[in-house]
Structure 1
């Protein structure tokens, strides 16, 4: 069974182009009906502003830790200035057209008792030609992995086909959140993410899952898409792929729905960033489904950070694998629970290229020093640097699975540096264990652990066992066989 590690979003650069807007919320209490008309009276006690539309897509990308550039248009007004300030504060690289032809689109929502009572839209927009945007795209698409076209039908994406072709000619994947019912304008995009209402406006009413799949497959082949991801609210998502006509119905992950505002933006952001890291469509869709489930549990447009996504990630079937194989973020979250229960955390590290009796005895002895044993493993490149080009004999994937299967080991995590000092500094175990003939001062991370009140233990390996010795015996055995032959 394969181990799917949580993506390192920081390795991805995403460009978002589309319609941005400012979402304003007025919060209040309502307990009576107006005597002037049959409407509730809301006593306002607070207000807030959030980014909306393509701006919300961009901040969701940035919240994952990816590098994000937003190309959009705003008015030369107070709402535009506020929107720009909010985007910059959330680490979005902004390339905004500040235009006198338009006002910044603003949506004002009145909220009473956590429910949306009324929405007022203020908008005056302008249709931008693709030609007028090419110089911005040319500059910002450098080193980008994916382009998100966030089309809210407010003028920025007046010529989507030209934008798609511009990106595809440069080898950049294109994800489209569509509003236009004429899908020919999105021809050649990698994937579209319509919601169910938008999808049925394109293909007609669907009466079953089979209807959805059949009509999605027809659109994919007609317009040369690689996939369609249809978001279906309480029914989850349906992913249909061009490759082998594969399809997957993904159940919803929401526990309680407060507000679906912006959930589609969250889906697009997570989906596109995963695709930019060369994850497959199914993984990307499943992770975006988890993010959507978190988003609808919040009021208003919401960004989903890595830590929050990590916390829910383990509850999904994305990472169903051997228990205990984790990345750093998952490990730190898991250890919080152990520490909350006053359990003693023990940590050790090594290459563990070929597991042998010496390793087993050492790990059992290490586990006996506490309640939870964490094993940090050098990745393949790190092993090569330490042991030579012929090592490791077993890939990181296989070494981690073998360790995770041991009763004495609770968590296995990898690191890419020559020493695990940085990882140990993040974990700060109660006991740091190293095997061999070392002085405490020679052990990576020892200083940080002791400064935190922890202790360092040096255990002796079982005599006669080492991976290097095993490798030498194998070579000698092969040579002897060769001489006999």
Structure 2
């Protein structure tokens, strides 16, 4: 299937579940304790990250969708830190502050990117806290398109049926990331996303693909689910639906560094895609792609919109070539998110010759990505006369896009590219020929925000106008 970036900015997703704070203490372990045969870690850094259902909400916000989170925290510093980090990321938090239980906190001690120890802080929640959370969640459904139940078995979702029925009465799809062996409590959800171990713990071992599919269909029917998405680690994902072919996608990860939070990424991308109007199959494919990105990161992590869009472009082969100004603005955002320097040049490029090729190769060396903006046909006629261009804009763009030095090609209708420059704000503006830096069109604007303006030379004895005159003489 062909993937495109969904309009996540139009999606609103409500997450309800077990929120927690993931704490990391980092340091060197260079000796063994004299008190016991354990490593001594000299802590030189720490990091706090939202975990559990909070990480799901963080992933949704990172994609550009609107995330609302309902969960239970303690009346403590960890709860305050969790709320602060989520709010800063754009997540709307509805937390029930428990007077009897702390914020669930997982402390991990690491050295040289290896986890040495994990310490958990948690206590059971009071029934009154769970009841208050459920009412907060039902109230929040009025502004939500999709509901996620993120169950980590900590007690926040002791009675998920109340939430599932409330959502279905409001025609809100329910995506469940399950926990434990009692899947019947999720009956009536839209889609459930167990990993293979969780699935087999309920249905028994699956020795063959046929057995997995048959048991999956049986479970889907028993639970009255629209779909069952089984995540299978290095074996990819399998989507089982009613009256539709089973869909299997291979894993996308090239390097697995840490699987922490991969399930959160899957459920957040799937739900956000559904909220943005995508099909279940497309949501699965996007979630599979995002999961391949997140397992290459250390610890609990979120996949951003630019990261996912870049991955889609690479997979679909749309990372380079001819683009509209709006498309180009989006891919530049992604490039900048990856720390790439953007170079911009412009011209008519009517007949591509050796001078152009050499110049564009030099221009590309000024940064990481090269944009070539060309005058459209009407603009060329105004600048060069009625006999030009020799080649129409579509052909000129196709030739330029085929050059290895060029990343993106865009056309403009004005006589100068100043409107494009204001939209794209490149890091480097390059011009070739007999110019000085202070006479380059748009140079003053680029310099105003700290960009560089550079002039490069064309190869000697190469001129489009000279080539055209020679053609006319012959």
For Structure 1 versus Structure 2, the TM-score category normalised by the shorter chain is 0.7 to 0.9
Q: Which residue is equivalent to 1:78? A: 77
Q: Contact 2:421 / 2:446 at 8 angstroms: preserved in 1?
A: no
TM superposition shift of 1:280 = 1.3
Change (3 A) 1:160 1:120: same
TM superposition shift of 1:137 = 2.7
Correspondences of 1:76-475 after superposition (within 5 Å):
76-126=75-125, 128=127, 132-244=132-244, 246-316=245-315, 327=327, 328-330=329-331, 333=334, 339=343, 340-342=364-366, 343=370, 345-347=372-374, 361-364=391-394, 367=397, 371-372=400-401, 425-427=422-424, 451-452=445-446
TM superposition shift of 1:172 = 0.6
Change (3 A) 1:203 1:364: closer
TM superposition shift of 1:325 = 6.7
Q: Contact 2:372 / 2:409 at 8 angstroms: preserved in 1?
A: no
TM superposition shift of 1:311 = 2.2
Q: Contact 1:428 / 1:448 at 8 angstroms: preserved in 2?
A: no
Q: Which moved more, 1:137-146 or 1:225-234?
A: 137-146
Equivalent pairs counted in the alignment come to: 392
For structure 1, the 5+ residue unaligned runs are: 351-357, 374-407, 414-419, 433-446, 455-485
Q: Which residue is equivalent to 1:6? A: 5
TM superposition shift of 1:113 = 1.3
Alignment partners' CA distance in 2, 1:280 and 1:92: 25
RMSD, aligned α-carbons: 3.6
TM-score (norm 1): 0.72
TM superposition shift of 1:333 = 4.7
Q: 3-state SS of the aligned residue for 2:122?
A: strand
TM-score (norm 2): 0.73
Q: Which residue is equivalent to 1:417? A: none
Q: Which residue is equivalent to 1:34? A: 33
TM superposition shift of 1:331 = 6.0
Change (3 A) 1:288 1:128: farther
Q: 3-state SS of the aligned residue for 1:141?
A: helix
Change (3 A) 1:68 1:251: same
Change (3 A) 1:293 1:37: same
Alignment partners' CA distance in 2, 1:360 and 1:301: 56
The superposition leaves residues 212-243 of structure 1 with CA deviations (integer Å, 9 ceiling, x where unpaired) of: 22211111111111111112222222222224
